[in-house]
Amino acid sequence: MRTKPFVIGPALPLGLGALALLSLAACGGSGDDAAPVPADTAHALPQLAAATPAALAGGCDELGAKLAGQAGTVIDKVSTVAAGTVLTASTPAPEHCLVEGHMAQRTSTVDGRSYAVGFQLRLPKAWNGRFYYQANGGMDGAVVPAAGALGGGPLTGALVQGFAVISSDAGHQPNTDPTFGIDPQARLDYGYQAVEKLTPMAKESIRRAYGKAPDRSYFGGCSNGGRHTFVAAARHPDWYDGYLAGAPGFNLPKAAVASIWGGQRYASLAAAPNDPATPAGLETAFTLAERQLVGRAVLAKCDALDGAADGLVQDTAACQAAFNLARDVPSCGSGGRDGSCLSDAQKTVVASIFAGATTSTGAPIYTSFPWDSGIAGSGIASWEFASPLQRDAGAVAFIFNTPPQAAAGFDGAAFALGASIDALAAGITATAGVYAESAMGFMAPPNPTDLGALKNRGAKMMVYHGVGDPIFSVNDTAAWYDGLRANNGGDAGSFAKLYRVPGMGHCSGGPATDQFDMLTPLVKWVEQGQAPQAVVASARGGVNADVPASWAADRTRPLCPYPQVARYKGSGSLEAAESFSCQ
């Protein structure tokens, strides 16, 4: 048990058989108290009942015996965590039991390594009747504290609100080693099967601990956690009642290949032959001063399109028509680059990266990125210049490519800068031998715009995405939502809502109001039928270094449900959300 508080901060940068299904059905939280209705009767969608609290039946020291005996599950340790030991932002979590364990331990016949799905489950002594599956980011690979922390600030989390919360390593460790992708089962666990193993076990554990299954179950995460959320919503719409996805990288293999494609283009501009082999060298292609220059140019053309010159581009769509990199950013003359201009070669490369990665024949690999003031955010460099050579190089080589690369002597930078993009794009959809599912098969949600089963049982989904996100494009998420709307008579707002966050980078940060709570409105929507409209977000002055000094530290803005835009009403403080309306 910890004796000092640890603080949960913002999210960081990226088949069971019939027995399991029967176990899940017995565990509650599946909305069986509301009968399905036809898809064309959106006005009569079921209303799920609210969760009711319960107290832990006995103490934490009794849980080890109570939870024992579940198939394939080992409870390693149970301990009592005092109130206030875990903090989300500055809010203390209640006293709870920490259950640590693992499932499905095995030795791989492919790489000889030992694997298991590690987890921790936190069970409040005073429980609100709800379960939260915390989907973690990056490559998973670590059992991080199961506090239910959210993207953005965050303002709150599931544990501090009294949820039972689980987190896991998704079936492999450590989180810095992508070579787990050599093992076919580890790939599948990372993609979706760890969730399928953990969910029935967690709900059964809750039933044993409290004498009843969770009344309502929620699933959430940002980045890869947002991808996990999309996959769960598509594969298991009856297992959870509310889905909260941030920056959902639901086309993660495509985005990773696109990142390498962008890295190769930046390398063509690097200042010296050896520079591209390091993130710092790759950044010489498009320096911080130059990114800030472009950010100012975007603001000059787009800031006032929403009615207020306030340092935020609210009307993203109008900005794409208004801003032109070639025209609106000064070109360098004979004096060369000094931070006040871009060379013609830079403009060509940067514009191509924002337009979206393609194969050698021009076929799209991933989507375009919108122009936004967030291009100047401090988190951009990591994703634009480090990720192609490190995170994405390893992920594509070992997890997403079929067959995977050999681990011995692997050099991420050499792989990324020398790879055939056409081959990488083909590799993420390929299968071979023991790799029976392609990366796009095990990582992406099947039919993500067909969520009729989720809708018709009364479940809800909320999604948020930073417009300045440099690795997973908000355009991809908006296109998903457009497809969802098209499949639901032009309006998916009865069960799913998307919120774009102007200026915000990947999950948090950027010149943005990036602090907000979407868990509370999601619960009210699921359990009380109160559909969310605008969500108020605030800036983190003094914490988020990207917040301009000219903003009030407590600036607020409404995050509007897509496709609406926050527009200035014409009067009132530019620091206050109430001066803007969603239109």
pLDDT of residue 27: 38
Residue 273 clears pLDDT 90, i.e. is over it: no
Catalytic residue among 392, 469, 514, 546: 469
pLDDT of residue 43: 61
What percent of the chain has pLDDT above 90?
A: 89
Q: Where are the alpha helices (H) located in 419-568, listed in sequence order?
A: 421-427, 439-443, 452-456, 474-486, 519-528
Do 466 and 501 contact (CB within 8 A), yes or no? yes
The DSSP annotation for 199-222 comes to HHHHHHHHHHHHSS--SEEEEEEE
pLDDT in tens, 292-346: 999 999 999 999 999 999 999 999 999 999 999 999 999 998 889 999 999 999 9
Do 175 and 215 contact (CB within 8 A), yes or no? no
Using H for helix, E for strand and C for coil, what is the string for 67-88? HCCCCCEEEEEEEEECCCCEEE
pLDDT of residue 337: 94
The pair of structure tokens assigned to 128 is 């609100």
Query: How would residue 37 be classed by pLDDT, with cut points 50, 70 and 90?
Result: very low
Residue 148 clears pLDDT 80, i.e. is over it: yes
Q: Which H or E run contains 500?
A: strand 496-501
pLDDT of residue 274: 85
Query: How would residue 7 be classed by pLDDT, with cut points 50, 70 and 90?
Result: very low
More confident residue, 407 or 43: 407
Tell me if residue 411 is catalytic: no
**pTM (global) more than 0.85:** yes
- Dihedral sign computed on CA atoms, order 51, 54, 59, 62: negative
Tell me if residue 469 is catalytic: yes
Question: How far, in Å, CA of 401 to CA of 254, rounded?
Answer: 11
Question: How far, in Å, CA of 254 to CA of 453, rounded?
Answer: 27
Query: How would residue 153 be classed by pLDDT, with cut points 50, 70 and 90?
Result: confident
- Dihedral sign computed on CA atoms, order 388, 390, 395, 397: positive
pLDDT of residue 269: 95
Residue 35 clears pLDDT 60, i.e. is over it: no
Do 434 and 266 contact (CB within 8 A), yes or no? no
In the numeric block, the tokens 């299968």 are attached to: 431
Question: How far, in Å, CA of 332 to CA of 338, rounded?
Answer: 8
Question: How far, in Å, CA of 523 to CA of 50, rounded?
Answer: 9
pLDDT in tens, 60-103: 999 999 999 999 999 999 999 999 999 888 899 999 999 999 99
Do 535 and 472 contact (CB within 8 A), yes or no? no
The average pLDDT across 262-280 equals 93
Q: Where are the alpha helices (H) located in 46-130, listed in sequence order?
A: 63-67
The pair of structure tokens assigned to 563 is 């496709």
Catalytic residue among 506, 514, 517, 538: 506
Question: How far, in Å, CA of 134 to CA of 75, rounded?
Answer: 19
The average pLDDT across 154-163 equals 93
Question: How far, in Å, CA of 143 to CA of 345, rounded?
Answer: 44
pLDDT of residue 1: 35
The residues near 14 (Cβ < 8 Å, ≥ 6 apart) are: 137, 138, 139, 223, 224, 249, 252, 387, 391, 395, 471, 506
Query: How would residue 12 be classed by pLDDT, with cut points 50, 70 and 90?
Result: very low
Residue 6, number of CB atoms within 10 A of its CB = 11
Question: How far, in Å, CA of 151 to CA of 142, rounded?
Answer: 18
In the numeric block, the tokens 């005996």 are attached to: 69
Residue 351, number of CB atoms within 10 A of its CB = 14
End-to-end CA distance of the chain, in Å?
50
- 174 preceded by a cis bond (ω within 30 of 0): yes
Catalytic residue among 30, 217, 223, 538: 223
Question: How far, in Å, CA of 510 to CA of 469, rounded?
Answer: 9
Residue 6 clears pLDDT 60, i.e. is over it: no
The residues near 277 (Cβ < 8 Å, ≥ 6 apart) are: 389, 413, 414, 417
Tell me if residue 465 is catalytic: no
